[in-house]
């Protein structure tokens, strides 16, 4: 009897079927990836399903619309700014906080958020208002408030600088110049903003 020299190749191992939180995390990650690469207008539920290696039905069962999916993806993926820097001086604290904000802006989730802000029309943008305010604006303003109030306590910052216009200055400037001027906020850009805008704006009359 002649035996064959060839043996069948082993069958490839089946990909484990993901369920529950594991699958949801994969879908949310795929949504962030699409947002950061093809943007809001290019994102499709089919593309997200393909990126997560699952079926389109699995996406629609959990999120009936593109807006619902993106809102949850942003909530899950946005970086957290936990504590205000405390380096001994308001200039150094502001620079450290601005670097954290810059790193968040240009992270995958930051790029995803910016695609939503830049590409959505007014009606669509309303769907993401609370995500942006709760996840980005209020945490950033809170940390700026902490930095400025600490500067007031040290006598570096004039007391009447603790107001909403001053707290809004950094996030407003960073978002405006990023969107309108294509600024990527390298370290020199951040130092110039702090030294030419924020420090003169905050300086106490004694400073």
Give me the DSSP letters along the chain.
-PPPS--PPPPPPPPPPP-HHHHHHHHHHHHHHHHHHHHHHH--HHHHHHHTTS-HHHHHHH-SSHHHHHHHHHHHHSPP--S---SSSHHHHHHHHHHHHHHHHTSHHHHHHHHHHHH--HHHHHHTHHHHIIIIIHHHHHHHHHHHHHHHHHTSB-GGG-SHHHHHHHHHHHHHHHHHH-----HHHHHHHIIIIIHHHHB-TT-
How far apart (Å, rounded) are the C-alpha atoms in residues 151 and 143?
A: 12
Is the pLDDT assigned to residue 170 strictly greater than 80? yes
How far apart (Å, rounded) are the C-alpha atoms in residues 99 and 112?
A: 19
Name the pTM for this structure: 0.77
More confident residue, 153 or 180: 153
* Cβ–Cβ under 8 Å, residues 92 and 190: no
- Cα angle: 146, vertex 151, 157; to 5 degrees: 125
Residue 8 pLDDT class (50, 70, 90 cuts): very low
* Cβ–Cβ under 8 Å, residues 142 and 70: no
- pLDDT at residue 178, rounded to an integer: 86
Mean pLDDT of 60-83: 90
CA distance readout (Å), 200 to 192, 194, 203, 207: 12, 9, 5, 10
Q: CATH topology for 20-77?
A: Arc Repressor Mutant, subunit A (1.10.10)
CB atoms within 10 A of CB 52: 21
**Residue spans in the chain of domains classed CATH 1.10.10.60:** 20-77
Task: For 110-146, write each residue's pLDDT tens digit.
Answer: 889 888 888 888 888 888 888 888 888 888 889 999 9
- pLDDT at residue 11, rounded to an integer: 43
Task: For 87-117, write each residue's pLDDT tens digit.
Answer: 999 999 999 999 998 998 888 888 898 888 8
């Amino acid at each position: 009897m002649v035996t064959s020299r060839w043996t069948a190749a082993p069958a490839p191992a089946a990909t484990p079927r993901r369920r529950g939180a594991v699958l949801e995390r994969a879908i949310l990650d795929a949504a962030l990836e699409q947002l950061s690469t093809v943007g809001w207008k290019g994102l499709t539920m089919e593309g997200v399903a393909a990126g997560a290696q699952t079926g389109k039905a699995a996406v629609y069962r959990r999120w009936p619309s593109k807006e619902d999916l993106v809102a949850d993806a942003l909530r899950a993926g946005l970086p957290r700014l936990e504590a205000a820097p405390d380096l001994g001086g308001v200039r150094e604290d502001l620079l450290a906080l601005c670097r954290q904000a810059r790193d968040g802006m240009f992270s995958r989730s930051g790029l995803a958020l910016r695609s939503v802000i830049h590409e959505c029309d007014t009606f669509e943008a309303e769907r993401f208002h609370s995500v942006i305010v709760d996840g980005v604006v209020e945490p950033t303003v809170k940390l700026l408030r902490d930095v400025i109030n600490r500067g007031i306590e040290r006598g570096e910052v004039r007391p009447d600088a603790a107001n909403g216009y001053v707290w809004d200055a950094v996030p407003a400037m960073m978002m405006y110049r990023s969107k309108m001027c294509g600024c990527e906020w390298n370290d020199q850009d951040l130092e110039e903003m702090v030294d030419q805008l924020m420090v003169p704006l905050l300086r106490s009359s004694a400073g």
